[in-house]
Structure 1
Amino acid sequence: MTETLSLIDLFAGCGGMTVGFAREGFRSELAVEFDFAAAATYAQNFGESHTFFGDIADLPDEDIPEVDVVIGGPPCQGFSNLGSRDVDDPRNKLWKEYLRVVAHARPKVFVLENVQRFSKSAEFDLLLAEADHGCIQEYELRWGVLLASDYGVAQRRPRTIVIGSRIGAIDPPTPTHARIAHADLKPWKTVKERIDGLPERPSTTELPVRSTDVFDGTVQGPFSMEELHFGRNPRPMSLERYDHVPPGGGRFDLPDHLLPRCWREKTSGTTDVMGRMKWDAPSLTIRTEFFKPEKGQYLHPQWEANNPARRVNRVITHREAALLQDFPDHYRWCGSKTQIAKQIGNAVPAGLAAAVARQVKAAIAAAGQENDDDGFAEAV
């Protein structure tokens, strides 16, 4: 019988990483999240009793249990290409609180995830220094930039994954999928595999009126994934713009009379905005404002050049975005439409987290077997 491994999830958000680790048999003992609606979503799916809603700096040392694994992604806006890139951004210091928890939890392994450029940052150099002669010096670090689509997620989302281990170095998992299948690699999952068959024209533009009590407060929800399949009411000009964009296309497919001045004067860059997804490929990164087509490639992939009646001129719904982030269809959500979108966009795709979990689980099992063998040898 396989032993259940214990887990702490820091900066847990709505639970994307925990979903992935839970798929591999890990059990969460503590989750920490500062955002009320995200913490409520986490609690709705994994339980309120072990969910700490608040600032991680306010988490008492004595409330930190010893566990097998600590996971989490400190807020990354300061490192993000979409953020200020300010190394002094206080959000970039929160990884030090992450290390405080690691020091008290004494996990065999910790996993830290962040944006692609984190491994090139000054803060990452400080993390390496802590591993060399600081509070995590007994941990060996390995890291890499992993593309979610290489691990069975229908989304091309890159994330830096750092694995720290005191049971022997653990490399990031090797890809299981590729753009073109070869050898032991399966083909990338596609948008079609995740969202095909959902109603093309949502029946509502609103969430149901519902609320629940959590953490001594009240939050909207919980809502089912089906209830997240709501649409918007775009202006006629917006609909006309959408109608000109084929799969894989974007703002450069619009005729001049439909271009806003800012796009007309900017003749290069931002190629994915007002973009339409492709059925037969993974999506690009699902960000927090996926409901705004001017923010990325978020138009529904259904579009036929010779049949205007077979064009779906809308952005993807919250449900479709959550599925492309690899959340299961039984997941439940709390918050307003904007709050839930933020939760979805900030999450780690569950399939990517599961790939890391499998790698960590195998390493822990191997280390345990090695210890058992050593004990047997000594006994003999």
Structure 2
Amino acid sequence: MVCEDRCGCGAVCRRIFGRTNKPSDEDTHDETIPVTLTQLAEARDVKFTQVLDEPLSIGSHIICTGTPSEDLPWFAINVGVGDPESGRGDIAVHFNVRMPQCYVVRNTRRHEKWGPEETTAFRLFPFKTDRPFTIEVIMDEQQTLWAVDGEHYCSYTHRNPNPSAAAWVQVAGVRDATLTINKTDTYPSLAPTPIDVPSRATIDALPSPTEPESWRPNVIAALSNGIPEGQQIIIRGRLRPLLHSFSVDLMDAARDWPQPNVALHANVRAHVESQQSRQLVVLNAWLGAWGAERRQRTARLIPGTQTTLKILRGASEWCVYSDDVLIGELEYRVPPSVVKGLRIRGDLYPEEIYICPVSNSPVVEKCGC
């Protein structure tokens, strides 16, 4: 399995952004809660199928609504080919919500055989019994993206069969399910307008009353004025106790899809050779495709603690600092003025994000390897 970020890293790891949505040390769910065969059979029998009038293509947008019920502990959205009623058709994408275990499985079934499951997600399990949900699915060239209640949840890379060959979409295990299939230019369509990153006069200035009181994990924020020359972006936050990895992207638009260009992708990977004293830092840019990576083992982050990241707009490169230590530099591959959005994903939970001048910031030389 490769990194779900499609960052070109080649990492053999499905948890590149740190969060499997199976229960962990931070959750209290019991994965051994029994589900009877009768309940599963009943969930499969409660189904709604919509035949596609035209093939799915880039920009196809599926919206499913419904309410999980206590007596149906399992529900699924299937995008498939063949006969949907026989139960033997191929399923290009299977999105299976398992309520008692509190995680979501994605998979593909071909010739009545299932492939390897995927269970990672960018957020905690969002479904609750008797609470309505809205799931959005967007079709891209190489993957489908899934959002729950207006917030991106996961992605799933196409396998064989490809969902572009699908003949139907089916919801099973939800009695009040609705399906709408059309085209869209935005995803998630229910997402609120991104918050604009505020500016402060100095790095130590107090926040203004208009600043957000808190920032959500895996946030996408707008940089309407970009990062002006001589300025830096500050991200203060908490690291997950079981630190795996996180990324910060400077993009030309504040959105998940259509995929924006990424002027700077800064990825800290604590899971790679985690016995070493410093974490791996990978820097890159996405301009229709990933470019050449810059790698250095320079970060020394302590899981479960507060940290401060700084990204400085330098004379000819982006400079990335962690707690005043330079951990990486990436030369400009596009003009820095194109940056209009910020995305944070993974095991860094932001508490403060703002822009301020560089001049009063301490500079410490990059630690050696």
Category of TM-score, reference length = shorter chain: under 0.3
Normalised TM-score (structure 1): 0.26
As a proportion of its length, which structure holds more helix? Answer: 1
